[in-house]
Amino acid sequence: MKRIAGLILTAVFLSVLCIPCAAADTGRAYPGFSDVAEGSASYEAVKLCYERGLMNGASDTAFNPQGKLNVAQLVVLAARLYNLQNGGDSTVPDLPDLSQPYLRFYDSEGNLFASFNSAQELQYNAGEQPYISLSNAPDAPDLPETCKLEIGFEDYGQVRSFEGVKESHESAGGTMHQGFVGTGYRFADPEARRFAALPNRSLMEQFQEAWWFPAAFYLGIENVLHIEGELFYRASNGNNGDGSGYDPAVRFSKDNATRSPFAWLVERTAGELETVNEAVTVPDINPDETQDAAAILRLYQAGVLTGVDQAGNFGGDRELTRAQAAIMLARVLDPALRVRPGG
């Protein structure tokens, strides 16, 4: 039987991780990197990102401000940013035991009656009111009228719970799901669709040894992004899975990152940012055609991004340096640093 709907289309931690949140205080004392002069354009930004635990040095004494960031480092950066913005200390959790189920269904008495290790084992619709089918029967009298769905891993921090109501379906002829018959649960809270955010188990097993994968997994289970349909697809320029040989396990740590995916990931993980400039025009950004246009313009409006030339062009395909990332992320960390009209 066809699934009702699919998922919508994430060694060496080189110092890469910068992000915002006034709440966390790592207590790290800035060492004073020899290649970042006090009073230089990036000094305060590098210092702030280091003190917040978001960036480290290339060594104990040097920051390497002109060094390039790779795609894997951006993924870890985004995960640390998200963690910090949601009350953490910028630490990315280790992978949980992937053999344990992360979807667990309980009846009103607290009895477990179904569990699954992957959304790929289910028939589901991950829309605004997610629906999961647990039976091919049109009524399924053995299923309780209500359920509590737990999503998450017991050893992975918070497990989220959602209340579901039993619902049966028999799709009419001529519809997209013609011939579908089944019974399952409808969840009023759209957050319940996070069950669909993780990749299939074979993919998890394939990449679980990659040093950046815990960060991608974390962003997936938090429903920040979809690893296959967004992260892998975008990194491969849409060529992933067509026989082109793109392998994230190898390429993520080799491919230099550019400004466009940086903006996309920061916008996804920074949280709410005050608009300081409503009227923003970026010459090389077409709101209707440019990939990530909405994210890029939002960060311009928040005073986080600025152009790469006097005309104000964004330069989305330009490679990103560590100093540039620190400067832009420091503007997220400290609202006083954001670029305002006339500033």
In a domain, 6, yes or no: no
Residues with Cβ within 8 Å of 211's Cβ and at least 6 positions away in sequence, in order, are 11, 12, 13, 72, 253
* Domain count for the chain: 2
DSSP 93-162: PPP--TTS-SEEEE-TTS-EEEEES-GGGSEEE-SSS-EEEEESSSS-TTS-SEEEEEES-TTSS--EEE
What's the confidence (pLDDT) of residue 27?
A: 67
Would you say 304 and 277 are in contact if contact means Cβ atoms under 8 Å apart?
A: no
Do 229 and 308 have their domain in common? Answer: yes
In a domain, 138, yes or no: yes
Inter-axis angle of helices 259-269 and 322-333, nearest 10: 20
What's the confidence (pLDDT) of residue 117?
A: 87
Cα-trace Rg, the chain = 22
Residue 111, domain extent: 103-196
Give the Å distances, CA to CA, from 253 to 11, 70, 71, 109, 134.
9, 6, 6, 48, 40
What's the confidence (pLDDT) of residue 4?
A: 35
Q: How far apart are CA 327 and CA 305, in angstroms?
A: 9
Query: pLDDT-based confidence at 179, cuts 50/70/90?
Result: low
Task: Give me the chain's average pLDDT, please.
Answer: 85
Residue 280's φ and ψ, nearest 5 degrees, are -120, 125
Joined together, the tokens standing for residue 306 give 């600025």
In a domain, 203, yes or no: no
- How many Cα atoms within 13 Å fall on the side-chain side of residue 161? 9
Do 171 and 275 have their domain in common? Answer: no
Do 265 and 177 have their domain in common? Answer: no
What's the confidence (pLDDT) of residue 221?
A: 86
What's the confidence (pLDDT) of residue 174?
A: 53
Would you say 85 and 79 are in contact if contact means Cβ atoms under 8 Å apart?
A: no
Do 342 and 239 have their domain in common? Answer: yes
Structure pTM? 0.81
Q: How far apart are CA 254 and CA 69, in angstroms?
A: 9
Do 15 and 68 have their domain in common? Answer: yes
Do 58 and 153 have their domain in common? Answer: no
For residues 18 and 158, which has the higher predicted lDDT (pLDDT)?
Answer: 158
Do 81 and 121 have their domain in common? Answer: no
